[in-house]
Amino acid sequence: MTELIFFTNQVIISGLVLGCIYALGAIGITLIFGILRFAHFAHSELMTGGAFIAFLLASAFAAWGIVTPIPTGFVVLPIAMVLAAIMALGIDKGFYAPLRKRGAKPVTLLIASIGVTLMIQGLIRLFFGAGSYSFFEHEPKEVFRFDMAGIGSTRPLVITEPQVLMILVTLVSVLALHFFLTRSRLGKAMRAMADNADLAQVSGINTALVVRVTWIIAGALGCMAGTMLALDVTLKPDLAFNIILPIFAAAIVGGLGQAYGAIAGGMLIGFAETLAVFNWTMLLRPLNAILPDWMQLPPTLALVPTEYKLTVAFVILVVTLLVRPTGIFKGASS
Amino acid sequence: MPLIELKHVVGGYGGAPILNGVNIAIEKTDIGVIVGPNGAGKSTTLKAIFGLLKVTGGTIDFGGENIANSLPDKLVPKGLSFVPQEKNVFTSMSVEENLEMGAFTRTDDFSSTMEWVYEMFPVLREKRRQPAGELSGGQRQMVAMGRALMSKPTLLMLDEPSAGLSPRYVIEIFETIQRVNKEGVGILMVEQNARQALAFASKGFVLASGQNRFTGTGAELIADPEVAKSFLGG
Amino acid sequence: MIQRSLTLFGGLFCLILLMGWVMGMPFTSSRLVEAAAYALIALGLNIQWGYGGLFNFGIMGFLMVGGAAVTFISYPVNPVFWGSEGPMMLGKALLAFAAGALLVYAARKSDRIGITGKWKMALTVLAWFVAYVFYRSQLDPAAAYIESAAGGGWIGGLGGHPVLGWLFGGVLAAGIAYVVGKICLGLRTDYLAIATIGISEIIRALIKNMDWLTRGTLTVSPIPWPTPLPQEFQAGGMNIANSLLGARASYLLLALVVLGVVLWLISRAYAGPWGRMMRSIRDNHVAASSMGKNVTARQLEIFVFGSVLMGIGGAMLVSFVQIFDPSSYQPINHTFLIWVMVIVGGAGNNWGALFGAVLMWLIWVVSEPLSKTVFEFVSSWSTQFGWGAIPEIEARSAQMRVFVLGLVITIALRFAPKGLIPEVVKRET
Ligand SMILES: Nc1ncnc2c1ncn2[C@@H]1O[C@H](COP(=O)(O)OP(=O)(O)OP(=O)(O)O)[C@@H](O)[C@H]1O
Ligand SMILES: [Mg+2]
């Protein structure tokens, strides 16, 4: 039983947490691709920037002496998301909209997004240095340990408070997004524009409005993902820059342009990463008792060494691109 | 006063103009049919009306104002609707959602309009939960027309509504168009099945190289030996 | 057009003189050597993107491959390794690799014996898995042994001439580019961008973590120079400043010779029928393929050529700084910077790429000291007003160049999308 609890801690919980963050990031990328048809690299900076906004707000709360029952990072999240959405709109207006107006090719927009990445990255480092920050300087990070002796485990089930909240918040956001896309007028218009932008225009859909809504959602969800990642680990200027490729992998595996695909892709990449570096000996150790001597399990039995964890996502990405570029949910291929 | 009137419209896609002075006038009760050889600028004329390309000369009067170069999201509320030649349904969305998208510019309750569309195309009611991409060519054409009607237009423009349909469906689509017209919607359509379409057209326009060649009632054009010889295949 | 280029190059020359005057000749001469290497790399990207329209976001990977290659060729021999069990064990790992490759190949051809569809798929996946496990079972002990004291720590070098190392860098980059191009070039542009980034990250992870091969984060130094080192000039009785200048000047000369030869070769090729074909493929993919030209093969050719230059350039950089440190490679400095060079200079024009490379490299290196000066100025000013000084000026100025790079590229895309020295569009008949 101990082994099973260990597996839950190491794979199920971590995979879920990672999957949530990847999924939230990938939704933004996939929506932007669906509507504007370009790979938005600067999405990482929407995430990191959003996390820093949340961090500043949380620090302000602490300075004003406001104490909250749940981690302040989650309390300020709604405000931070609004600000991040405004930031996303500003970035589009300042950098991408002029290029679109000129009729620039998607590749040009992609390169422009690299420029935006560098600028925001530079600005963040300029103001915050290259060090890392913690949301939990003024309050404790609560860790729940569930004693599992009842089912014969010597290890407790461990999950932190931010992790619990993160999974809940992701679930709620995904449901909200689902209802938005399938029930609301604007959400349906967004799907229509992703499906066939010319026809959407012909139908009288206000495409400029749809573009704005897309940036708002992408910015807000990006901020959510970035903040929650920072709450789970630490906040640093290259927080999301380092994981933008796994997030792209999630979006592509799920099929670019497909919101539900992005969620599935995020979970898939998250679990693949944790499973690939998991030391199977820890789970299968009881087998040693029945295996003959020459077949005893080695002390570490992982598919890839831990230092190659991020590489797993790249390999999945490359294989998906080669075997099924439209992704498992058959996204926009043209 | 005609419902829509194009006077000497000149326009194109940025290079040399494709339309070199097109004149069209349609009444509310009319079914106008534009015919002409491939590449004559028939689709381009409809797109020019709908603001999808730049009009550099002439005027397009609709509802008492010049609408040249207005964008679709302004034109649809004014009562103009357009069914493009191809890719005219949202394939990943259900039939009902396709219709809803046609009503995007409306803020009032459009359930009675949807009812009206379903009465006109009963198959669509059956298939309303199905993705439009899974329908047959004829059914898609119905979805496309239904979508365009959802904005309660006063003028419906159709680009080759019968393209790629079997003869039985062609007749059905043409009958539907006439029924829509009877319900008070002016029609301006481009057709390759020229003879068949001109037979019920109240106005006919023969276009070649971006200019009017002949204009008259449908019956007049069919009867004109020169039109018949050069444009209707003898 | 010619006049514009001449003016721009003249301006660049003045900038270099100014830099030499303000920052000192030894500093400037080093930057010029690096600029020459970057020019070579930028030419490589210009071939791929400017000529061929191929999106390569994996430049960093090719630079690392070049660096590892020159380290391997030119670093002195490690006798402990060669005298140990290591070579034998590595040989076995290599055999395991070959066997695995054969297995996967056989599985992929299994339709010949009537295994098709899902079964073939399953068989292929299984073959990959078995091959991977088998290879790891041979490699892991070999790696652990070599990394131990008995195995010599790492395999060391071959003690060859650095220029041989540069060539080997080109060859290795070509080999990798061939494989990458073979599997990725069919993808559409943005997918290609993401795939190449992914591959370069995989290359980085491998080089960084295969300590037995590259020494990984432990870094290798000093890597020998192809030309005499400053110390050798000093041994000849020269003073330090002059020896630095002399040594760097001779390195620069060698780099310029390489650059000149490459430039001459590609200009000739591009003016000829080969270049005409490339342009027609880039500008009109469909028409070219319907004309019966083998588009994919030509694109692969161009991808490999461009990558060779990147490999050589990467090797030249490593030789010059004398240290191979896999953790110093970053996508910003080694992929995006090159892109900015080519776009600012003018994609599709070799002189443009050259100009952009030198200009951007100089901007990149001076933006740090420059912003430091500005910060110090502002800081002293704000202290006077009683607002306090700017903290951590050093660290902040180091970050300014990333911002400047982003700013330059956004401005360029907005106001000079074709670059400062744009491609000369030839009307072909
Ligand atoms: N998007 C476009 N950009 C540039 N030129 C175009 C575009 N669409 C059409 N053209 C050109 O405009 C001219 C008229 O095209 P149009 O589509 O109006 O012809 P048409 O009369 O509808 O022909 P068909 O019967 O084949 O549909 C053609 O020469 C065509 O090449
Ligand atoms: Mg047409």
**Option in C191, C201, C405 nearest A314 (CB):** C201
Write down the domain spans for chain B. Answer: 1-78+155-161+187-234, 80-152
Please tell me the total count of domains within chain A: 1
The 10s digit of each residue's pLDDT in B125-160 is: 999 999 999 999 889 999 999 999 999 999 999 999
Give the integer Cα–Cα distance in Å for C34 and C333. 13
> In this structure, which residue's CA is closest to atom 22 in ligand 1?
B43
Please indicate if any CB of chain C lies within 8 Å of the CB of A248: yes
In order of A10, A18, A183, A187, C306, the CA distances from C65 in angstroms are 35, 31, 52, 47, 14
Would you state the pLDDT for residue C270?
83
Mean pLDDT rounded to a whole number for chain A: 89
Would you state the pLDDT for residue C288?
59
What is the arrangement of strands in the sheet containing B54-62, beginning at the earlier edge strand? Answer: B19-26, B4-12, B54-62, B65-66
Would you state the pLDDT for residue C121?
86
The 10s digit of each residue's pLDDT in A66-107 is: 888 888 889 999 999 999 999 999 999 999 999 999 888 888
Would you state the pLDDT for residue C292?
59
Would you state the pLDDT for residue C290?
61
Would you state the pLDDT for residue C379?
82
**Inter-chain CB proximity A249 and C401 less than 8 Å:** no
Is residue A330 a part of any domain in this protein? no
Would you state the pLDDT for residue C261?
95
Q: Pick from C401, C420, C279: which is nearest to C347 by CA?
A: C420
Give the integer Cα–Cα distance in Å for B170 and B174. 6
Chain centre to alpha carbon of residue B213: 20
**Option in A111, A318, A325 nearest C198 (CB):** A318
3-class DSSP assignment, residue C109? coil
Torsion angle in degrees (nearest 10) through CA of A272, A274, A275, A279: 160
Asked if C417 and A108 count as a contact pair (C-beta separation under 8 A), the reply is: yes
| Closest ligand relative to B37 C-alpha | 1
Mean pLDDT of A164-183: 94
Would you state the pLDDT for residue C116?
78
The region of weakest confidence among B96-110, B181-195, C273-287, C364-378 is C273-287
Give the integer Cα–Cα distance in Å for A207 and A193. 8
The region of weakest confidence among A267-271, B117-121, C52-56 is C52-56
The 10s digit of each residue's pLDDT in A215-249 is: 999 999 999 999 999 999 899 998 999 899 999 99
The H-or-E segment that residue C3 falls in is helix C2-23
> pTM of this prediction?
0.90
Would you state the pLDDT for residue B234?
55
Is residue A223 a part of any domain in this protein? yes
pLDDT band at A332 (very low <50, low <70, confident <90, very high): very low
**Option in C194, C209, C417 nearest A108 (CB):** C417
Percent pLDDT > 70 in chain A is 98
Would you state the pLDDT for residue B143?
95
pLDDT at residue A147 tops 90: no
Residues of chain C with pLDDT under 70: 285-293, 426-429
Pairing mode, strands B31-35 and B203-208: parallel
- Which of B50, B71, B87, B90 to probe the A interface (max A CBs under 10 A)? B90
Asked if C403 and A119 count as a contact pair (C-beta separation under 8 A), the reply is: yes
- B233 CA → ligand 1 middle, Å: 21
CATH topology of domain B1-78+155-161+187-234: Rossmann fold (3.40.50)
Q: Is the CB of B111 under 6 A from ligand 1?
A: no
Asked if C44 and C306 count as a contact pair (C-beta separation under 8 A), the reply is: yes
CATH number assigned to the domain covering C24-78+154-415: 1.10.3470
The 10s digit of each residue's pLDDT in B165-178 is: 888 889 989 999 99
Q: Which of B43, B85, B193, B207, when mutated, tests ligand 1's pocket best, judged by the most ligand atoms within 8 Å of its CB?
A: B43
Would you state the pLDDT for residue C286?
58
Would you state the pLDDT for residue A333?
38
Q: Which of B9, B10, B13, when mutated, tests ligand 1's pocket best, judged by the most ligand atoms within 8 Å of its CB?
A: B13
The 10s digit of each residue's pLDDT in A311-330 is: 898 888 888 887 887 777 65
Would you state the pLDDT for residue C370?
87
- Which of A33, A92, A123, A126 to probe the C interface (max C CBs under 10 A)? A126
Please indicate if any CB of chain A lies within 8 Å of the CB of B131: no
Task: Name every chain B residue with its beta carbon within 8 A of the beta carbon of A196.
Answer: 87, 89-91
- B159 CA → ligand 2 middle, Å: 7
Would you state the pLDDT for residue B218?
84
Provide the residue count of chain B.
Answer: 234
- A169 CA → ligand 2 middle, Å: 50
The 10s digit of each residue's pLDDT in A8-32 is: 888 899 999 999 999 999 999 999 9
**Inter-chain CB proximity A112 and C410 less than 8 Å:** yes
Would you state the pLDDT for residue A141?
83
What is residue C332's DSSP assignment?
I
Residue A234 belongs to domain with CATH number? 1.10.3470
Q: Is the CB of B86 under 6 A from ligand 1?
A: no
Would you state the pLDDT for residue A153?
77
Q: Pick from A125, A126, A101, A86: which is nearest to C413 by CA?
A: A101
**Inter-chain CB proximity A204 and B84 less than 8 Å:** no
Q: Is the CB of B13 under 6 A from ligand 1?
A: yes
The 10s digit of each residue's pLDDT in A106-130 is: 889 999 999 999 999 999 988 888 7
**Inter-chain CB proximity A322 and C198 less than 8 Å:** no
Write down the domain spans for chain C. Answer: 24-78+154-415
Domain of A216 in residue numbering reads as: 2-323
Would you state the pLDDT for residue C131?
93
Asked if C227 and C316 count as a contact pair (C-beta separation under 8 A), the reply is: no
With CA atoms as reference, the chain B residue closest to A258 would be B92
- How close B76 comes to chain A (CA, Å)? 6
Is residue A227 a part of any domain in this protein? yes
Q: Do chains B and C touch (3 or more CB pairs under 8 A)?
A: no
Task: Name every chain A residue with its beta carbon within 8 A of the beta carbon of B152.
Answer: none
Q: Is the CB of B18 under 6 A from ligand 1?
A: yes
Chain C neighbors (3+ CB pairs < 8 Å): A
Would you state the pLDDT for residue C289?
60
Mean pLDDT of B109-122: 94
Q: Is the CB of B41 under 6 A from ligand 1?
A: yes
Task: Name every chain A residue with its beta carbon within 8 A of the beta carbon of C403.
Answer: 118-119, 121-123, 126
